[in-house]
Amino acid sequence: MAKRYWSVISCLFLLQCWSMNGWGQNISQTIKGQVIDAESRQPLVGASVVVASVQPLLGAQTDVNGFFRITGVTVGRHTLKVSFLGYENGLIQELVVGAGKEIDLTIRLTESLQQLETVTVKASPQNGTALNEMATVSARSFSVEQVKRYAAAINDPARMALTYAGVANNNEQSNALIIRGNSPKGVLWRMEGVEIPNPNHFAEEGATGGGISALSVNMLSNSDFFTGAFPAEYGNATSGVFDLKLRKGNHEKREYSVQVGVLGADIAAEGPFKPSGKSSYLVNYRYSTLEMIKRAGIEIIGDAAPDFQDGAFKFFFPTSKNSTLSLWGMGGLSRQIRRRTTQNDAFHSDRAVVGLNYTHFLSNQSYLDATLSWAANRQTYDATRLQQIYVRKEDFTNQAYRLSLQWNHKINAQHSLRTGLIVSDLRFVLLNQTIDGPRLSTTVNQRGETSLVQAYGQWKFRASPTFTLTSGLHATRLGVNGQTSVEPRAGFRWNVLPRHALTAGLGVHSRIEALSTYFAEVKSTNGATSQANKNLDLMKSAHFVLGYEFRPREDWRWQVETYYQRHFDVAIGTAYAKTIFLQTESMLNLMDGYLTDSLVSTGTGRNYGIDFTLEKFLTNGFYFILTSSVYQAKYTARDGIERNSRFNGNFVQNILLGKEWKMGKMKTNTLAVNIRSLWAGGNRYVPIDLAQSQKRNTTVRVYERSYEEKLPNYFRFDTRISFTKNRRKTTSTLSLDVQNVFNRLNLYQPFYDTATKSLQFDTQLGLVPILNWRIEF
């Protein structure tokens, strides 16, 4: 089967490349969009937009609503220069223009602080600069084109983020991210400005990652990713933030895309609701089964043959000159079923979110964003042993009704204010029970409702064209126990020289635990049960970041950031901890789930390190990113001993590079090769006492030495090869992503094998080829 799989891949590449000279005439497309003020979002009338990469130059001026349209742009990569009197110039480099879809851009320009008669601003690209104007440090934007282009990202923003400094992953079957040595539990996912449940298939209770992204990249616009010291509007996060934006559908013409591959099918459609209107729709549906790739001998999600499906949409309606309305949502179903001779298992992981967003421009300087959303996620697990009385039942259902209000006011070119309120009504049904013979044990059995209220205020001060200061305050209150956290935030960016900048950020951040933690049924010494963890405090983390950035050329960037994080109010075992496990463990070491023992919020931890990034952005068909991070991650539990955390790998290094070649008679086709290598310190684990394990015929761990030992260093080499063909009104791409080209079996975790009575290690995935064919028309 594996040989047949590779034979099919080879044949498809040959077919895609066949007659690649294509058509004899030029193939062109339209670039359109809107130019707006970065702070107030007001349209800029009369701005100049020029395609600088063609001769003669093509260009247009924006109309009374800030819109522009440039037709006849040849397919390929292009550079756009944008200018407007009194504003800093904008530059968009290496914009991909294909025959199958029009390019629709929203271009943000920043008002200049200089006097009009002295303005001489050279257009300088800020590739990777965060879209959020309040971000000064540990933040960058990413594009949909990057998610598609990076080797073995497999159209997944989380797997793409593994390329960035300070980001690691300890499980190839999951896209959960370890950011600067922190547990993935501390990552926040947002969409269209509101918190959403974990948007990944095969996700466990309390997790922020999963096997595969549940959101098609077709739906995304440029978005932000944060690794620390977040602006004040971000709450309920301690390690990282994904701030995802959905794009609007084309309001002028209908367009479609279809992708088929070994992971299934992906279909998208977009267009106007009616001719000559400004409203639009964008819908997407995916269905997948991993049965095909499993038959090739490759297990992506364990030894089962899982399948999943998901859908997403965004409907956009300009309701008046000063307001817009959008209805958006996504949902996903995933299941994983195993049938064995001794036991049957069934795991289901489902999620959905729907949001209604209303934006109203109160004046030329201010606007109000209001979003009402509903979100739900459910994880169930059922296990039955066929030869004995044993049934295990898990059912975790969480719903959230949210109202988010944000008011933004641009006082002038120097001062901007942003404030907001987020009210979440959280509803839950939590069950975890096991029947083992005559015994019924329950770790959690609770249904109910609580609230999470967050409020924030931010101020941005541009003291000069070279110095920007931000400050703010975020407050969080959890209704379960009334615990409150007030969190100051601040940051600055100082362009000390034209190509040199100093950046800094600091702030306190907090996150609630999975609700199952608060309602876990804990047994006391007399056998009685109670919800002893209901009054746990919010875990908090203070971030301090100092950075330096040097851009020797327009398409080069060298960046270094050093950071220190202090964790406090961390859940650990109580003073009456009955086991050595509770005396040595901390919530900082959990990837997902919850602890069912009595806890108290007195634990601490600290992370510190330095991140290096050398990046050449894609120009002239070539790019690379080199990152290197060195760090420490420590924690202190009930016994007062500071230990390495589970995620203290000590270092992570990445190399990503790619090259594109124009092909065909008119140079309208593209062959691209991208490669990536990941090298990181192995995760730590609790050692196993082999002698005691053999004596008891079960795994016996030495908790006194928790996380002293470390897995061997992790190494993986990935590649992506793609060929894109442009024809009149269609673009087709055949791509092959290969994760772990050298089939290296990295170690995952140790276990005691009762059959061989020896210490063994689980291994991670070997070589994983993902073949896709995509057409846009």
End-to-end CA distance of the chain: 33
Six token digits for residue 333: 């179903």
The answer to whether 265 and 288 are in contact (CB under 8 A) is yes
pLDDT of residue 26: 77
Cβ 193 vs Cβ 369: under 8 Å: yes
Question: Mind listing the domains of the chain with CATH numbers?
Answer: 27-120 (2.60.40.1120), 333-720+737-758 (2.40.170.20)
730 beta partners: 727
How many other β-carbons are positioned within 10 Å of the β-carbon of residue 702? 15
3-state helix, strand, coil in the chain (%, to 5): 10, 55, 35
Helix (H, G, I), strand (E, B) or coil at 524: coil
Please report which residue ranges of 217-355 form alpha helices under DSSP H.
291-295
State the CB neighbour count (10 A cutoff) for residue 573: 25
Distance between CA 732 and CA 473 in Å, rounded?
A: 48
Query: Helices (H) and strands (E) in the chain — how many of each?
Result: 7, 45
Confidence (pLDDT) at 437 = 82
Sign of CA dihedral 174, 179, 181, 186: negative
Question: What pTM, to 2 d.p., does this model score?
Answer: 0.92
- CA distances to 230, 507, 609, 704, 733 from 632, in Å: 21, 20, 6, 20, 42
CA 450, CA 28: separation in Å to the nearest integer? 55
DSSP character at residue 124: -
- Collapse the DSSP code of 448 into the 3-class scheme (helix H, G, I; strand E, B; otherwise coil) and give the result: strand
Instruction: Walk along the chain (777 residues) in steps of 10 and give the mean pLDDT of each run.
Output: 53 52 70 95 96 91 95 92 93 91 94 63 65 95 94 93 93 93 97 96 91 93 96 97 96 95 93 91 90 62 74 96 96 87 86 98 96 97 82 94 98 96 97 87 92 98 96 98 97 95 98 94 79 94 98 93 98 77 89 86 97 95 97 95 96 97 89 96 93 91 93 96 94 95 93 91 90 95
pLDDT of residue 120: 44
Beta bridge partners of 266: 259, 286
CB 674 within 8 Å of CB 149: yes
